[in-house]
Amino acid sequence: MAQGTNSISPSVRIGICAPSTPFTRDAARRVMALAARTHPQAELVFAEQCFSEQGHFAGSDTQRTDSFVSLANDPDIDAIWFARGGYGAARIAEAAVQRLNDVAHRKIYLGYSDAGNLLGALYRAGIGQVAHGPMPSDIGRTGGEEAVVRSLDWIVHRLADALEPGLVSGQKYAAFNLMTLAMMTGTKLIPDLHDHILIIEEISEYLYAFDRAMFHLCSNLAGQGLAGIRLGGVDDIPENDRPFGESAEAIVQRWAGENAIAYLGRAEIGHHAQNRIVPFGLLPI
């Protein structure tokens, strides 16, 4: 079993839960078959809760909380991999993190999108090694197997090739979906981002909504010592009834500039198969 956040044993047990929306058994079988071929030392443990449905969610708030806490506190589980995003993690993150024990501090936690609510809460609490990266649900994308393998490469082997290529040793990082992070601002889920380079991405939002979220985020982060901001993918932008008149990158540059936050260019993260790993905190030298 894992004895710390900087080493993983040859045999790795990865607990998978769904803090937001349901996963399918067919997709789970595909992910397990892929892992068996590419990472035979990894045992994937899908919580039964992943396949539960209660309205929009993968089970009730209580079911989703209990599933995550059970895996995180299990000494026989080395890493937690969030199955998919959607919406729902914000409803359970604060209560779930309060129930974690010392065992939970020794794990990797990996996901993105709505899972950012839990990643932020965990990082704020100093629990585990938190990272933004592909989830099992990416198996359904064009090129998605590559994304899933990339996350397994990171969990099992810590392969540097899985990392976002612009990461620099000795620098602190955090990565989030923009809308998720904007909604976390001012809550008990958002971590201290002082001295961090923040990397953001977005999916399926109108550019006016993207602009509004950037206004809210940058206004709140102004003067908090952010080292800079980078922009990942902004994909599947809906067509508005009139052109917005600015690109997503221009929006980020404008709001960053108005709030004295350095804009540091593009990054390879997002809701696509090229999504790369961004560990939170200080990247080891």
Domains and CATH numbers, the chain: 12-162 (3.40.50.10740), 172-266 (3.50.30.60)
pLDDT of residue 2: 29
**Average pLDDT, stretch 98-110?**
98
Amino acid letter, residue 34: L
Q: Which stretch of DSSP H or E encloses residue 35?
A: helix 25-38
**Average pLDDT, stretch 100-113?**
98
Please provide residue 184's backbone torsions phi and psi, each rounded to the nearest 5 degrees: -75, -20
Q: Please check the confidence at residue 284 and state whether its pLDDT lies above 90.
A: no
What percent of the chain is predicted at pLDDT more than 90? Answer: 95
Q: Please check the confidence at residue 45 and state whether its pLDDT lies above 50.
A: yes
**Average pLDDT, stretch 51-74?**
99
pLDDT of residue 113: 99
Residue 10 binned pLDDT confidence (cut-offs 50, 70, 90): confident
pLDDT of residue 283: 87
- DSSP result, 135-146: -GGGGGSTTHHH
Task: Look up the pTM and report it.
Answer: 0.95
pLDDT of residue 231: 99
User: 41 with 157: CB under 8 angstroms?
Assistant: no
pLDDT of residue 230: 99
* pLDDT tens digit sequence for 187-243: 999 999 999 999 999 999 999 999 999 999 999 999 999 999 999 999 999 999 999
How far apart are the C-alpha atoms of 41 and 35, rounded to whole Å? 9
Higher confidence at residue 136 or residue 6? 136
